[in-house]
Amino acid sequence: MNLLLIGGGGREHALAWKISQSPFLEKFFAIPGSPGIKNFAECVENISIEDNAALVKFAADNAIDLVVIGPEAPLVNGLVDALNAVGIKAFGPTKVAAQMEGSKIFAKRLMKKYNIPTAEFEVFDNPDAAKNYIRSKGAPIVIKADGLAAGKGVIVAQNLDEALSAVDEMKTFGSAGNKIVVEEFMDGEEASVLALTDGEKIFPLIAAQDHKRVFDGDKGLNTGGMGAYAPAPIVDEKIAAQVEEKILKPTIAALKAEGIIYRGCLYAGLMIVDGTAKVVEFNCRFGDPETQVVLPLMESDLLELMDACAGGTLSDKKISWSNQSAVCVILASGGYPKSYKKNLPIDGITKAKSLGAMIFHAGTKIVRSEELGVRSYKNQNSTPNSYLLTPNCLVTSGGRVLGVTISAPTLREAVDKVYRCVEVIHFDDMHYRKDIAARALK
């Protein structure tokens, strides 16, 4: 099978790593890919992942059998529809189905209509009406922009003042904030259940827990995710069964009843409140960094499963898991999720790998060493300026830079080992959480 992977973050690196193990894989391309994905696929950087016509042309010219789409933007932008229109199979939902993530209002209304457990909500396009509603409900309360806002469109307001100013802040999200959702605050523990589906059959993957806040103890701003582990013990057998029977299956059936066949990965962001799961949000793609802990535990052939999702033949397949635990710690640029420096040399990856870590590149690039010039770069863990000895140097290029993953027989072992690996990696201003999985270890 000739495969094209769209995306270049940590999630896509994990997907590429897992896909590359399939005996069905023949040619493998990635757009844009990354220095990590280069180890598995030919990376093509001069095509935008927003340019459907160019992506379709590339897939046709290269006899691609399956396109796997990592990030939400191309899905919401109708890339799957464009590929299917010329007979190319794709893993991921069509444009209407991707509204599950692309429009909070679409997802909330679907859940309400089909009795899928979620927070109570109201939709507003008038800020004053929203504020009146908020005053009538009181805080804590949650205010959300309707459309995609790069993970920043949600404000969990602890008091009334914060809630009222959150309504005004929604304007800063452009058209995504034209309509807003005001939602009941759910007090509980979060978990992520990703599921593979062909629109009929659904395979929930092992439950994971993300750590969204930037600092230890869930303090600071929301990020894309600072680390994850799986399995998440908060999703015990009873909750897993409830998620499957009361959330995932009814959601796929509800979409079907609305004339929408959802194929790809459906990600349910859950809040476990008093022993029951409610939906916080749906995403139309794999989670990042959840994928970096879920895939290392999957024993089945992911490529075969994804092809079956795209082709509508998932019911013929099986999925199996190792009984290990996996943990991923994100190494982020200092300052993230606000502004941060780029082009900082990264050191220690080889050493971390020799200690057993899987390293997933989230925001890195390769530059010629001479482009960096001479910096006063000191690293206690390796030769000072050792990067200057090589012609090419790996540098930071994003807020989330690397994901360091370990799987081990127990979560305790995985956590101890992952932090030993993290400690040998260095770039200036590197920041990471030291309490990934701490809740599960208690």
CB 104, min distance to ligand AMP, A: 7
Contact (CB, 8 A) for 282 and 267: yes
Q: Following DSSP, what letter does each residue of 109-166 receive, concatenated?
A: HHHHHTT--B--EEEESSHHHHHHHHHHH-SSEEEEESS--TT--EEEESSHHHHHHH
CB 236, min distance to ligand AMP, A: 20
Q: Does 133 bind ligand AMP (CB under 6 A)?
A: no
Give residue 42's identity as a one-letter amino acid code: E
Rank residues 50 and 189 by Cβ distance to ligand AMP and give the closer one. Answer: 189
Q: Does 142 bind ligand AMP (CB under 6 A)?
A: yes
How does DSSP classify residue 274? T
- Show the binding pattern over residues 84-113: x = contacts ligand AMP (CB under 6 A), - = does not: ------------------------------
**Binding residue count for ligand GLY, defined by CB under 6 A:** 6
Which listed residue (200, 281, 304, 423) binds ligand AMP by CB under 6 A? 281
Strands 154-157 and 89-91: unpaired
Which listed residue (288, 301, 307, 347) binds ligand GLY by CB under 6 A? 288
Rank residues 198 and 288 by Cβ distance to ligand AMP and give the closer one. Answer: 288
CB atoms within 10 A of CB 47: 14
Which region holds residue 332: left if phi is over 0, alpha if psi is between -120 and 50, else beta?
A: beta
CA distances from 237 to 228, 262, 276, 367 (A): 20, 26, 12, 48
CB atoms within 10 A of CB 152: 17
How big is the CA angle at 415 (ends 409 and 421), to the nearest 5 degrees? 110
Give residue 175's identity as a one-letter amino acid code: S
Which listed residue (119, 310, 326, 344) binds ligand AMP by CB under 6 A? 119
Contact (CB, 8 A) for 98 and 36: no
CB 288, min distance to ligand GLY, A: 4
CA distance linking residue 198 with residue 184, whole number of Å: 32
Rank residues 290 and 347 by Cβ distance to ligand GLY and give the closer one. Answer: 290
Rank residues 287 and 348 by Cβ distance to ligand GLY and give the closer one. Answer: 287
Which two structure tokens, joined as six digits, stand for 188?
């509980």
Which two structure tokens, joined as six digits, stand for 6?
């769209």
CB atoms within 10 A of CB 73: 19
Rank residues 76 and 314 by Cβ distance to ligand AMP and give the closer one. Answer: 76
Which part of the chain contacts ligand AMP (CB under 6 A), choosing from 125-133, 159-167, 178-186, 388-396?
178-186
CB 437, min distance to ligand GLY, A: 15
Contact (CB, 8 A) for 422 and 378: no
Rank residues 18 and 278 by Cβ distance to ligand AMP and give the closer one. Answer: 278
Which residue's CB comes closest to ligand AMP?
A: 281
- Show the binding pattern over residues 205-244: x = contacts ligand AMP (CB under 6 A), - = does not: -------x---------x----------------------
Which listed residue (22, 52, 283, 397) binds ligand GLY by CB under 6 A? 283
CB 235, min distance to ligand AMP, A: 15
Rank residues 56 and 230 by Cβ distance to ligand GLY and give the closer one. Answer: 230
CB 138, min distance to ligand GLY, A: 28
Q: Does 307 bind ligand GLY (CB under 6 A)?
A: no
CB 144, min distance to ligand GLY, A: 14
Q: Does 101 bind ligand GLY (CB under 6 A)?
A: no
CB 121, min distance to ligand AMP, A: 8
Rank residues 51 and 281 by Cβ distance to ligand AMP and give the closer one. Answer: 281
CA distance linking residue 426 with residue 15, whole number of Å: 25
Q: Does 177 bind ligand GLY (CB under 6 A)?
A: no
Q: Does 344 bind ligand AMP (CB under 6 A)?
A: no
CA distance linking residue 117 with residue 210, whole number of Å: 21
CB 100, min distance to ligand AMP, A: 12
Which part of the chain contacts ligand GLY (CB under 6 A), choosing from 105-113, 285-293, 312-320, 428-436?
285-293
* Three-state DSSP string of 277-324: EEEEEEECCCCCCCHHHHHHHECCCHHHHHHHHHHCCHHHCCCCECCC
Which two structure tokens, joined as six digits, stand for 204?
């929930």
Interface residues with ligand GLY (CB under 6 A)? Answer: 210, 225, 283, 287-288, 290
